[in-house]
Amino acid sequence: RIRFLPRVTQEIDILNLMNIADVLLDPVPFSGGITTLDALAVGTPIITLPGYFPHSLLTAACYRLMGMDMFVPQTKKDYVAMALKVTHDHVFADLFRQTILTNCSVIYENRESIRELEHQLKNICFKKL
């Protein structure tokens, strides 16, 4: 069963909805952006299909950083199969959720990316003209 809900504006409501959801589907050919980061924080599995453009790669990149490439389908058929598996196979869904919760600190506590951004901003701001 799929439920389409009206736009939710309160951050707490969004996180609560994500927490009780079985799965989120990244809209093909896009990715979730902030929604992805919120969903991963509560361990909600996201089914994504990476595309060619940067806006379609965020969720897959997060999974890759967390060592979860096995949860990234490569075809539309696999995308559908993964979504069905998460919703019908509760053991698999629990494994998916636990793997996210175990590994998401790689995303939220990544000091290397902060240092890289810091470096790039210094180069931009203090570059001699």
Distance CA 66, CA 83 (A): 20
Task: Check if the beta carbon of residue 26 is closer than 8 Å to that of residue 47.
Answer: yes
Which pLDDT score is estimated for 113?
78
Which distant-in-sequence residues (6+ apart) come within 8 Å of 59 by Cβ?
26, 31, 32, 36, 46, 48, 50
State the pTM of this model: 0.79
pLDDT in tens, 89-122: 999 999 999 999 999 999 888 788 788 888 888 8
